[in-house]
Amino acid sequence: MRESKSEIKVRKDGTVRDGCVQIAKVERRGKVWEALTPHGKPYFEEDRPAFRTRKAAVEAIEAEEERRAEERRIQRARWLEERERKEAAAREEAKDPRCVERYVERILAAAPEGWTAEFLPGVYLYGRESYAQRGEASDGTGTVVLKSEAEELHWRLDRVNLKHGCGLADGAVNADGSTYYRTESGGWACFDRIGVDSSFYGGSAEDPAETVREELERIEKAREVSKKMVSVPKFGWRVHQDALEELRAKIQRGGSHSFSPRGFGTGKRISARRPAGRYGVTRLPAETAEFFGVPVLWSEDFDCD
């Protein structure tokens, strides 16, 4: 946060800077001056008349920056106060020897009608059924599984380390979760990003029913998007139908396009030109090239990590 107004300066080119960061610029339009953002849009959120002098425009920007800085200070103070309140409540909750059990009961009760709900104590479940990897959980924690014929939600529970305090704002018991759903093809998809993050995060300070509602909404939206995805023949990737024609034109002009996995993994970069690299370079089948309207199509692997 700026300590004084003296840090705001205007250069000869009309750019207004806070230290080394450009925050605005003033331009002359006829007989008046206008205050703009670095991208050329109106600086002030509300309609403001043009300024008679450049000095007046800069002073108005300076006053607005001070107002915004004060607003951020107040918001941060409120956030810190709320965080301290939540952490204090979590420390008090942690004194209850049944805090994990109580959180498990709330998650099980959040299962929608017709779903099954179970708690797997001592187990961290990563994946579904026979494909799942199991890790050891302690202190009465484990994995809560809510599932239906076409959806499945996992909560992996963990007690917060009171000494370090990380995650206390979410409650004495934290959770990272995975959301699985059946696709139109009959397979299963998940919102997890491998090696990056889980589908959702939460804790005993939050309402599990709200998490269930949010994840079901995500599933519904994902299924709607999936209906508009077009499979690329003999390639294993899909393209949104609204972007297909533009992508075809790009490939036909000699450009390239990258397909990236969710999270860590190996991506594919396709082009009608043979890549200069040697890593995972392959000539794609004629059906794939025909799909994009080119005689020959190449693919090159690249790491996503």
Residue-wise pLDDT tens digits, 41-50? 888 877 666 8
- Indicate the pTM of the whole model: 0.76
d(CA 284, CA 161): 51
Cα(252)–Cα(294) distance, rounded to whole angstroms?
A: 6
Instruction: Judge whether 244 and 298 are in contact, CB under 8 Å.
Output: no
Question: Which among 193, 117, 99 has a CA at the least distance from the CA of 155?
Answer: 117
Q: How many residues in the chain?
A: 305
Spatial CA neighbour of 90 closest among 199, 8, 170, 202: 170
Over residues 68-88, the pLDDT tens digits come to: 899 999 999 999 999 999 999
For position 1, what pLDDT does the model report? 43
- Which two structure tokens, joined as six digits, stand for 248? 């075809």
pLDDT of residue 13: 74
Tokens 């005993």 correspond to what residue?
A: 204
Instruction: List the pLDDT tens digit at each of the 305 positions of the chain.
Output: 444 445 777 787 778 887 788 888 888 888 888 888 888 888 887 766 688 888 888 888 888 888 989 999 999 999 999 999 999 999 999 999 999 999 999 999 999 999 999 999 998 988 887 567 777 777 889 999 999 999 999 999 999 988 887 888 899 999 999 999 999 888 899 999 877 899 999 999 999 999 999 999 999 999 999 999 999 999 989 999 999 999 999 999 999 999 998 878 899 999 999 988 778 899 999 999 999 999 999 999 999 87
Contact at 8 Å (CB) between 280 and 299? yes
Please give the pLDDT value at position 261: 87
Helices and strands, counts by H and E, the chain: 5, 18
Residue 23's pLDDT is 84
